[in-house]
Amino acid sequence: DAKTTQPNSMESNEEEPVHLPCNHSTISGTDYIHWYRQLPSQGPEYVIHGLTSNVNNRMASLAIAEDRKSSTLILHRATLRDAAVYYCILTSGNTGKLIFGQGTTLQVKP
């Protein structure tokens, strides 16, 4: 499975945008880029995923570099409820397996 690299932690102020980076230099052509987040003592929650084009949904936006070797999860206005560990994961094929890295712990300051 291709590996991803994320910063261990990031801080943001409430109501400001947050850009969470992810490097995946060994990504293959069929790998999808998924983002999940996990609040304390809960199971992970899907945020967004994409293959090549940028994606938007009600939770966030996903910006994918043209060479696909990196991507950025964008939270447009951080709230205190967005404080969580964010995981960037590559998936390929139809196995459904998700291999989690260490993720980025996002702190949101009021």
Partner 1 sequence: GAVVSQHPSWVICKSGTSVKIECRSLDFQATTMFWYRQFPKQSLMLMATSNEGSKATYEQGVEKDKFLINHASLTLSTLTVTSAHPEDSSFYICSTQRWGNTEAFFGQGTRLTVV
Q: How far is the CB of 49 from partner 1 (least distance, A)?
A: 7
Which residue lies nearer to partner 1 by CB, 53 or 110? 53
Which residue lies nearer to partner 1 by CB, 42 or 67? 42
Given a contact cutoff of 8 angstroms between Cβ atoms, the answer to whether 88 and 10 are in contact is no
Query: Given the rule CB under 8 A, which residues bind partner 1?
Result: 32, 34, 36, 38, 41-46, 49, 87, 91-103
108's CB contacts (< 8 A; 6+ apart) are 11, 12, 13, 14, 18, 78, 79, 80, 82, 83
Q: How far is the CB of 26 from partner 1 (least distance, A)?
A: 18
